[in-house]
Structures are given as C-alpha cells and as structure tokens.
A and B are shown apart, each in its own frame.
Chain A
C-alpha cells in the first residue's frame, strides 16, 4: 500500500459525538478519516477492528458515548472492556494495539473528537508501517 492511500476508519455510535459525514463515508473535518455509524458502540466487534487493520487501515478510532451514559445501558462499557481484553471476545494477540484509539464523547463534544483524532493520526504517521501480509 502506498502513502497516498492512508485511511483511518472510525467506528462510532450514532448517539455519541456528532461527526459530519459526507455521502462517501468520509469526515470532512478530519482528512483521511472514514466513518461507519452503529446503533450502539456495543455492536462493534473486535473482529471488525481487526478486519479494518488487516484491510489496510492505518488506524481505527472507536467512539462511544461518555462512560456511564449509554442509551442502551452498557454498550460503551462492553466494547471498552473488550478492547482492554477484560471481556470476551477480545482481540487477537497479533493485533497492533497502538493503532486503535477509543474515545468516549457525548454529543456536544465535537471539537474534542476532531482534535483527538487529528492527534491520533499524527502519531500514527510516526509508527512503522503495518506489516503487509
């Protein structure tokens, strides 16, 4: 994969922070970011994150509501525990955990989302390229 193709996939709860998305799934506020919305962040499978990284994504941002406030009660806690390896199913051992960022932001916290994800993308650039398999 070439440098021009670098993409960060965001898996986000539709009730969490409001992110602008254009028709093609890209977020105009953060260059290189593609967004997929879910009814709840609890729906995100570790498999999906692995699939994104395997498919050539430079990084994955997982975003849910503030911890403690989930419309469906526990979804964001669940995916958080799965990411941290405390609740099955967890991610495979070989998954590059440096390329995953989880944010827990309420609807009005758009600025925080943009700044955090930009910072994340910047740190990704300094990491070694993911090994092509």
Chain B
C-alpha cells in the first residue's frame, strides 16, 4: 500500500494546513470553507476584474498629451481623473478594479501555497503547476501595466524603469524596449500599446486557464454564492477604507524619484531599485525557474505511481471509469475485433494518479490497482470477518 502520506517532505506543513482547515471547518463547515475553493477564488476575482475593467475602458483615453484636443487637456491622466471624480461611482469602480487585482494576487498566492503544502503539485499534476506559474507571471505583468495606464508620476517612473530593464537584456533588449514603448521613446502611441497589453493579455489569461484546467475533470471554478458575497464585500470595504487616487500628472520633462508601492504587483520594482539591472534579471529568471522546477527540486526521486490496469477480458466498455476519472487518464478506445463489446477502457499511465476512483466506478472488477486488487480487498474483508473478534 502507498505510504506517501507519511513521508512526503512537507508533512509538517500538510498537518499545519489540515489543522488550520479543521478550525475553519468548525466555523464555516466544509461547505463554505474558502480553502476548499482555493482555485476558484482567483477565478471569481478575474470575472470582477473583467466587468469593472470594461466600465473603465468605456471612458479611458490612452494618450499622454493633448495633441488632438488643444483646447481642453484630454489625456490618460485626465480621463482617469474624470472617471474618479465626475462619473457616478467612477471612483468606486476604479477602486474595485484595483483591489480586486490585489485580492486576485493574494488568492493566487494562497492557492499556490495550499497545493504545495498539501503535496498536490507534482507528477501527474505537473502541467497544472507549470501553467499556474506562467499564469501568475502574466497576472503580475498585467497588473503592472494597469499601473502604467493611470499616467501619474508613478506610471512615468515605472515605465522608465521597465524600459531601462528591458533595454539591458542582451541581444533582444532594444527590440523589447521598442515593442514596450511602441517606438524608441514615450509617445502618444505608448499608452495605446500599454492598453493593448493590459487588455489583450487579460484575455490571454483565459487561454492560460484552459491549459490550467486540462486533464482536470470537472474543475471547481465557482465558489458558492455566500463566499462570493464575502469576497465582493472584502473588496468594497477596502474601496471605502483606502480610496484610490492618482498622483500628480506625469510630466515627461521631470524625473520623479519615489512612489507609493503596491507590494502585491510592484515588488519587482522594489528589487530593481535596489540592485543592478543584470543582477535583477538574474534573480527574476532564476527565481522563476526555481519555482517552476519546485516539484522536481523538492522530490528528486519521485515515488513510483502504481497506475491502474484494465483487466482486458472483463471490461465491458461501459465508460463509467472514464466518466469518473478525476484526471482524464482513461480513454475509451474501440474494442479489438472479436470482442462482444464496442469499447475498451485504456489507462494513460502518465496521467494516472493511482487513486483508484476507477476501481470504485467499476461494477465488473475490470480495473485494478496492481498493489491492491479488489480481489485482495474482498479476501481481506473475509479474513477480517473470520478472525475472532
């Protein structure tokens, strides 16, 4: 029998998680325990961000000066100012967009920490771990472009820091900078590029999520409504407590030197301001590689998985195991010629977790875990019953 429970390297963290969740279960019961919907929480905030972003998009003007409106100064900063001060609930929508982003980062972090601590991130789940890292990086970058869009002094400084950091990359650096600024320097076209990156990549997240959900049968994507209410309320109360305001409008002729930092999105910039660009990229790339490789670093010798095996002459092709497999590891293929049945279940070993749900789904004893066949279970039951009580 498998003994993964007792010797995986994060056993202490696992029991910490379970103890913590035991307490939340007592308060909220398992039905509303947010830890049991940890993957769905950022997904909910993503919908909030799409909706609030759509409303902001209706009024946002991605230019840096008044080249087209010589009478009235109309640019990104003033359009954001108009949204905040003049539109009904504009300031609130802007606040929701900001804090839902922060909340998304927090919930993504919780999600990652939980799957790591409970040892649910490796082997047959490697695709989920790696795609999750890519998604998290994209969320960070999308959030940062959101900070450029406001076009206050902070945006200017961030834009210059990013352009500088891109430029320092060997070979592709100058090209990246040109792509980022939509030209060699900050112009009216820069902000439209930022807006495109911000919105375009947001929709790319949906593609990323599709990859993230691959091999997951029936992914949990929506928390229960009561949890959604609390998640929304959390954002609304933050909007009230800490209203969002822009800084001074960016002036290309000045160089601002400091800004308020949002640690959820802008922590790389804190790093960038403290070290040379080369070291910064080294830290970022190595850090990302290390986190991505975590499943292989933590457990260099991954335990062998006893994958399920189909008993060929018993399988009736009823598809029950195929429907119930939580990792889409079972494929129904046409039965070989001469079979009485149309289909035959086959196991894709590289997806199989060895959990045995397919054994439970089979009414014909036609699928087995090699280390615990159901015949053995039944023999064991018999033996236990026959032994004297």
Contact = CB atoms under 8 A, between A and B. Distances in A.
Contacts of A4: 388-389
A76 to B, nearest CB: 10
B36 A39 contact: no
B19 interface: yes
Contacts of A57: 381, 385
B168 interface: no
A106 B21 contact: yes
Interface in B104-151: 118-120
A67 B216 CA distance: 18
A104 B29 CA distance: 12
Contacts of A56: 385
B380 A36 contact: yes
Chain A contact residues: over half helix, strand or loop, or mixed?
loop
Given A9-B384, A106-B21, A32 B320 contact: no
Given A55-B382, A75-B326, A42 B360 contact: yes
Interface string B349-368: 00001111101111101000
Given A48-B378, A106-B18, A108-B18, A72 B362 contact: no
A52 B374 contact: no
Interface size class of A (residues with CB under 8 A): 35 or more
Contact of B362 (A32, A73, A87, A89): A89
B351 to A, nearest CB: 12
A38 B356 contact: yes
A47 B320 CA distance: 15
B217 to A, nearest CB: 7
Interface residues of B, number: 49
Contacts of B36: 66, 68-69
Nearest to A74: B326
Nearest to B1: A37
Nearest to B356: A43
Contacts of A51: 378, 381-382
Given A4-B389, A107-B18, A73 B324 contact: no
Interface in A1-31: 4-7, 9, 14-15, 24-25
A39 B22 contact: no
B118 A71 contact: yes
A40 interface: yes
Given A39-B2, A74-B217, A106-B21, 15 more contacts: A7-B384, A9-B381, A15-B5, A38-B356, A42-B324, A43-B359, A45-B359, A45-B374, A51-B378, A57-B385, A67-B30, A68-B33, A71-B120, A72-B326, A75-B360
Interface of B: 1-2, 5, 15, 18-19, 21-22, 25, 30-31, 33, 35-37, 118-120, 216-218, 320, 324, 326-327, 353-357, 359-363, 365, 369, 372, 374, 377-378, 380-382, 384-385, 387-389
11 contacts: A5-B388, A25-B380, A25-B384, A36-B384, A47-B365, A51-B381, A66-B25, A74-B218, A78-B360, A106-B25, A108-B22
